[in-house]
Every structure is written in structure tokens, then in C-alpha cells.
Amino acid sequence: MPIGFSRAEMQAEIERRMFQLDEAQEEAEHLGPYGDLMRMVAVAAYQRAADLIAVNNERIADQLAAAGIALPPTSGK
């Protein structure tokens, strides 16, 4: 059993949120080149956050193991 989101789940959530951002921009006044910049920054921020969450999840799993709490194996990261 994985701790927290798997990398695939995080990527799916990033894609969902980017879709929402794209939809919001289409509904709002068009921002021109700033819309593209905003999207690029959002993608980078989400990816960085996902990387940090994955590292944190691995650390939590290691800490649980050190405390004697065994987790079932995962099918992949």
C-alpha cells in the first residue's frame, strides 16, 4: 500500500488542474501571451510540488519502516 498519492495519481491530478486552469482562462478575458506564461509557470509549480510530495511520501514510508510498521509492497512508483 503506497503512502499518499503515487506519481501516476499526482500526474493525473496535475493534468486535471491544468485543464481547469485552461478552462478558466477561456472563460475569462483572454490574457494573450500572459496566459501562456501563466500556464507554463503553473505546470512548473505543480511538477515541483509533485516531486516534493513524492520525496516526502518516501521519507514517511522509511520512517514507518524504522518504527516497525510494515507496509504491503507497491506495484510501482
How many C-beta atoms surround the C-beta of residue 10 within 10 A? 19
C-alpha cell at 60: 514517511
Show me where the domains of the chain are located. Answer: 7-66
**Mean pLDDT confidence for 50-74:** 85
Q: How far apart are CA 16 and CA 9, in angstroms?
A: 10
Mean pLDDT within 20-47: 79
- pTM value is 0.61
Q: Using a pLDDT cut of 90, give the percent of the chain over it.
A: 12
When pLDDT is averaged across residues 15-27 and rounded to a whole number, the result is: 82
Which amino acid, 62? D
Residue scoring higher pLDDT (4 or 44): 44
Helix (H, G, I), strand (E, B) or coil at 67: coil
> Is residue 31 over pLDDT 70?
no
